[in-house]
Amino acid sequence: MTSTNTNPLIRLEDVLRLQQMMQLKPPATLPLSFIGEDVKLIKEIRKKVKKANQNNVTRTQAYLDYYQKHPEIHWAFLAHLVSRNGGYYMTDLSTTLIKSLLSPEKQHAYFLFLEHSNSAIFHDAYAQLLLYEKSKEQNSNLFHLLPAFHISSFMKAVWDDFWQHRNKTLLSMALIVNEQYHIEKNVLFKKEFQRDVLHSWQFHTQNFLGMTQIVFPYYSGNNIDLCGTKVYHFESVLKRIEVGKTLYVLLFYSNLHDSIYTFSLKHPHTGSRSDYNSDIFTKNRTDSKKLYSPTLTMSWGDRVHLFLRKDEWFEDEITFSLLESIPASSVKKIPLQHHIKVQSAIKAANPFS
């Protein structure tokens, strides 16, 4: 999958080096046994992951806190911003117009789909991030412990390489690829999500209406503007990876990073779109002059997720080719009023609401 419009942010020799590492060090087979301090560290990380994985708000904040401490891990900030959008989608399901389009059963099914995807990515990625944090603290490569968290063998090679070569962009691209294939294998293939969400006409209607818009709020002077992109064909893992790459380049290879970061620090995530525009959105259901956008806690309660099994997704070294192609940087400014147009489109598509 090679784009004709790319920036050489990752060198081919870096990707080839990863492939060689995978060939020289075959993945460990489970079950593995750990002893002593390793067992203590594994339990500590699992406890921290579980605590931070309470809901979308706690996950989103955990990513941002981590990035503040470890700014070399670019992906953590990207994950924070994408997770913000996951929260917006969850609370959108509680708006009056969405309720007119979806039955209560469908609303719940969509929420569970969003929540489980958001939670599964965090469960997989945050353990990796915490292990890197411990490696920094001890000044020692601890990635031999990754199999204890059922992390893909692909990421074991990537983290070992990052520890030695410190290629921030290569690590970010690898995490984007890993997390999308992880949910592809462990979430999207689940029968209930295929039946209740991905194959439903409402899901495809939402794609058509642009309701899968990913927005990054940022400061432009004293005002807040939006940039981002749309997600079409969410069911395609390759499309989701391309979106992730596009957002990464927008975040770290444009001049907007500092402005987006400033917004994130000043406006804690609540799930309500009023976090970035209180002129259009309100958390107050009785305010008829604005679009109702509740907080996550007003919309949905916490869910307990049991990650009893995580299947290995890495099967083919062709996957490494996904690291080579990165979209050229382009800032896509989104009018703050775009949500009003989407809501109008929903009304038009559902005239009996």
What pLDDT score was predicted for residue 22? Answer: 83
**Phi first, then psi: what are they for 110, rounded to 5°?**
-65, -40
3 belongs to a structural domain: no
pLDDT at res. 277: 92
pLDDT at 204: 47
For residue 27, tell me if it sits in a domain.
Answer: no
Residue 288 CB neighbours (<10 A): 8
Determine, yes or no, domain membership for 131.
Answer: yes
Nearest of 176, 170, 152 to residue 314 by alpha carbon: 152
What is 125-162 written as a DSSP string? Answer: HHHHHHHHHHHHHHTS--GGGGGGGT--HHHHHHHHHH
Q: Is residue 268 part of a domain?
A: yes
Rounded (10°) CA dihedral 109, 113, 114, 118 = 150
Q: Which two tokens stand for residue 104?
A: 């209560």
In the block, residue with structure tokens 């301090």: 37
Q: Residue 263: which domain range?
A: 35-348
CA atoms 62, 68, 69, 75: torsion sign: positive
Measured between alpha carbons, how far apart are the two ends of the chain, in Å? Answer: 43
Complete DSSP assignment for 28-46:
PPSP----THHHHHHHHHH
Query: 270 lies in a domain?
Result: yes
Domain membership flag for residue 313: yes
3-state secondary structure the chain: CCCCCECCCCCHHHHHHHHHHHHHCCCCCCCCCCCCHHHHHHHHHHHHHHHHCCCHHHHHHHHHHHHHHCCCCHHHHHHHHHHHHHHHHHHHCCCHHHHHHCCHHHHHHHHHHHHHHHHHHHHHHHHHHHHHHHHHHHCCCCHHHHHHHCCCHHHHHHHHHHHHHCCHHHHHHHHHHHHHHHHHHHHHCCHHHHHHHHCCHHHHHHHHCCCCEEEEEEEECCEEEEEEEECCCCCCHHHHHHHHHHHHHHHHCCCCHHHHHHHHHHCCCCCCHHHCCCCCEECCCCCCCCEECCCHHHHCCCCCCCCCCCCCCCCCHHHHHHHCCCECCCCCEECCCHHHHHHHHHHHHCCCC
Which pLDDT score is estimated for 329?
55
CA Rg value for the chain: 20
Number of structural domains (the chain) is 1
Q: Which of 112, 115, 121 is nearest to 197 (CA)?
A: 112
In a domain, 20, yes or no: no
Do residues 182 and 240 lie in contact, with contact meaning Cβ atoms separated by under 8 Å?
no
Q: pLDDT tens track of the chain, all 353 residues? A: 333 344 557 888 999 999 888 877 655 555 567 888 999 999 999 999 999 999 999 999 999 999 999 999 999 999 999 999 999 999 988 887 777 777 888 888 889 889 999 999 999 999 999 999 999 999 999 999 999 999 999 999 999 999 999 999 999 999 999 999 999 988 876 666 555 555 554 554 455 334 578 999 999 999 999 999 888 777 789 989 999 999 999 999 989 999 999 999 999 999 999 999 999 899 998 887 888 999 999 999 999 887 766 789 998 888 998 997 776 655 566 766 555 554 554 444 444 43
Residue 123, token pair as written in the block: 């469960």
Structural domain contains residue 112: yes
What local confidence, expressed as pLDDT, does residue 251 receive?
95
